[in-house]
Structure 1
């Protein structure tokens, strides 16, 4: 006769072969109260010797199952190697408690279907378990292989490493560079963060100033003092950056699509929404505990690049953010998330609102002659909120170029491809499905000094190319 069962349990394990025993021990180590049941008295005695509550008996027997109050347990795991036994027991347990979590083992897909019909919530098959283990193992092995190569490339640096961001770096690029700098330090190599352009966007300024991130203007640096160079959030010289074309890049880490990228170490991924995610996962795999500054920087980089995890956020972005969050300085994060708008940003926004042109759900606007190109994406973000608008293109003239910024909420459109196709023969443009940008030299408009005339020429050209690219034909006004 089976032993008496005393007390309430989190989980009841029915069938304690190799799989059941391993799960019993894992659940106990995580603080769960467990009752194990197995037909083999010797296995039960071994469990008892380890101070695990266990009873011996046939789990198909009412005499055994009646000893257990299934209404008071969180879950029941039925793990014998006999499919028919598992089905019979599952039906009995489900009849007694319609809410309890039931997990069962099955040897094949047919038995899996029968168990699911019997009310089992989760059915585990050896093939699926092996596949899951194999896929997880492959991903882990691939990650460790990449990190081994990265370590080798960094440690072979005979001097300092220069880490480039893209021009006018954003939080994703800045935080990724900061993380790579910390990884280089971990491997015994000194590194500097280099950038071209300006840090003018209010959030970017707030991030650098509040976190005290050391950044060097590349145009003022002696590039010959660096032994090797890396680039983050861009895939090579000239791609959204002003890095000299003849400069050899040893390390490339980016989340944007690219082809024919050559370097000693290349990590281009399409399963993440931010480059900062890649670097955060590096830290986790390398067991480098991030400082508050680094964790806050990377978290903000992922958050801003995915627009608060609403756009292009993938599973890895959430996993990386969950890893970082315990180390984040919440007060600093809040300050970076909502810095005040500058007077110039408000002026550009006002101009963009005034000059807006709407074609169905598409809006385009000339934002005028600007001093800060980062005001354009802020204006585009704002205009995308207008009722009935799904796609926005804002453009402005700064110095010797026209800068473009686009935002898109229409799932049928890839705005990065639209800009690329519209302006590839006159400048550089591209990006993601939901956000994109570009730059067109003013030289293509000829020698025009009158601002009003130039504004008309620029607007006409941008309008025609953009609308043609999205399939809208209009008759230009004389």
Structure 2
């Protein structure tokens, strides 16, 4: 499909658009979906947003965030919306395993499928793909997509807030994957709409609970391990420890960056014990390939400097595995 053909599909009277976000949604997938939702709704197009599971409270301040269908809570409505869709957007993910239990419903629908994403190694089942791994965020690609549709003049404050949120969160407040002028040119155009950058920052980063701050302090003081020979720092938290601090969805957001701020540390990991698996979040500096470790060893993936994965071993076995990888993987030794 071409941009012109997509625009024709969007503007058809009978169009029913579904915007899919990935599981464990972050600011980029939520902000990007909301931006398209506001655009299409303003064009009087029937548009539905679906997330496989719920997203953190610090993202729920954005206009329209309450209109997401959370598939784990409203499964029947999610399935019905997908079955009726005439156009399906995959936003900030590029393979089916990122939408969990709604995958089979999406596969059954033969409607055109549109990919807008900036992660590596996309699957090839899309009718149109706007993909670029060197772009800061999917939100930046959404801005480009809207412009190519000829609707840049329709970017209002709600759309701009959503896109700014996506870019800011996925670059760690412009600390990584944000060195291209095009990113800041896009941000400048968003600021020209009159959005309040300070309000957005406060809603995202100055909005945590007291329990979350105490958990962070505990993790850094009691649980942090520094492996200076590998320029690596990590901490792990058991399910019991998380419960002690009344852990809530999204409480881990940004914690790994504290480890990366240590002098001479180029690789940081947080390891959280969940009910049926162990979650790992990776961050790195420079050319250290966080996504290589995530993909090769931990059923995950992501970007060079920001990635995630899972382990189905115990918490202690996962920690041992990570340390063994750093010690034995020959491809990593040049970084140490």
Length-normalised TM-score, structure 1: 0.59
- Secondary structure of the 1:256 match is coil
Could you report, residue by residue, the CA deviation over 1:15-69 in whole angstroms, capped at 9, with x for unpaired residues? Answer: xxxxxxxxxxxxxxxxxxxxxxxxxxxxxxxxxxxxxxxxxxxxxxxxxxxxxxx
Shift in Å at residue 293 of structure 1?
1.6
8 A contact 1:164–1:230 mirrored in 2: yes
Residues 318-365 of structure 1 show CA distances to partners (whole Å, capped at 9, x for unaligned) of: 222122111142153243243232234334423432222222211122
Output the CA distance in 2 between the equivalents of 1:298 and 1:261: 26
Instruction: State the match for 2:59 in structure 1.
Output: 207
What is the alpha-carbon distance in structure 1 between the residues aligned to residue 280 and residue 251 of structure 2? Answer: 11
Q: Secondary structure at the match of 1:383?
A: helix
Corresponding residue for 1:165? 21
Contact 2:268 2:284 in 1 (8 A): yes
Residue in structure 2 matched with residue 279 of structure 1 by the alignment? 142
Give 1:316 shift. 2.5
| Helix, strand or coil at the partner of 1:341 | coil
Is residue 416–residue 436 contact of structure 1 (8 Å, CA) maintained in 2?
A: yes
Which string of whole-angstrom CA distances, capped at 9 and with x for unpartnered residues, describes residues 63-112 of structure 1? xxxxxxxxxxxxxxxxxxxxxxxxxxxxxxxxxxxxxxxxxxxxxxxxxx
Q: C-alpha separation between the residues in 2 aligned to 1:241 and 1:434? A: 25
Aligned to 2:195: 329
Q: Distance in 1 between matches of 2:134 and 2:320?
A: 38
What does residue range 224-263 of structure 1 map to in structure 2 within 5 Å?
224-225=80-81, 226-228=84-86, 229-239=88-98, 242-245=101-104, 247-248=106-107, 250-263=113-126
Distance in 2, Cα, partners of 1:344 & 1:468 = 38
The secondary structure found in structure 2 opposite 1:376 is coil
Does the 8 Å CA contact 1:348/1:379 hold for their aligned counterparts?
A: no
Matched, 1:352 2:219: yes
Matched residue, 1:306:
171
Tell me the equivalent position of 1:94. none
Matched residue, 1:456? 316
CA RMSD of aligned residues (A): 2.6
C-alpha distance in structure 2 between counterparts of 1:467 and 1:348, whole Å: 29
CA distance in 2, matches of 1:318, 1:391: 26
**What are structure 2's unaligned runs of at least 5 residues?**
none
**Unaligned 5+ residue runs, structure 1?**
1-144, 446-453, 473-478
1:390 is matched with which residue?
Answer: 266
Q: 171-180 vs 224-233, which deviates more?
A: 224-233
Query: How far 1:274 sits from its partner (Å)?
Result: 0.7
Partner deviation per Cα, 1:169-227 (whole Å, 9 max, x = no partner): 22211111112223433554211111122322xxxx23322534222202314222332
Structure 1 residue 291 displacement after superposition: 2.0
Match of residue 296, structure 1, among 161, 168, 175: 161
Shift in CA distance, 179/149, structure 1 to aligned 2, threshold 3 Å: farther
Using the alignment, how far apart are the partners of 1:324 and 1:306 within structure 2?
Answer: 16
Tell me the equivalent position of 2:70. 217
Aligned to 2:293: 418
Q: CA deviation at 1:387?
A: 2.5
| CA deviation vs aligned residue, 1:418-461 (integer Å, no higher than 9, x gap) | 221222xxxx21111111111233xxx4xxxxxxxx54334223
Aligned length: 308
Alignment of 1:150 with 2:12, yes or no, is: no
Between stretches 164-173 and 327-336, larger displacement belongs to 327-336
The reply to whether residue 320 of structure 1 matches residue 186 of structure 2 is yes
In the alignment, the residues of structure 2 paired with residue 272 and residue 471 of structure 1 have an alpha-carbon distance, to the nearest angstrom, of 25
Q: Deviations over 1:144-168 (max 9, x none)?
A: x943132134345845322111112
Moved more, 345-354 or 431-440: 345-354
The 8 Å contact of residues 237 and 243 in structure 1, kept in 2 or not, is answered as no
Distance 1:303 1:374 in 2: 16
SS in 2 for 1:209: coil
What secondary structure sits across from 2:258 in the alignment?
helix
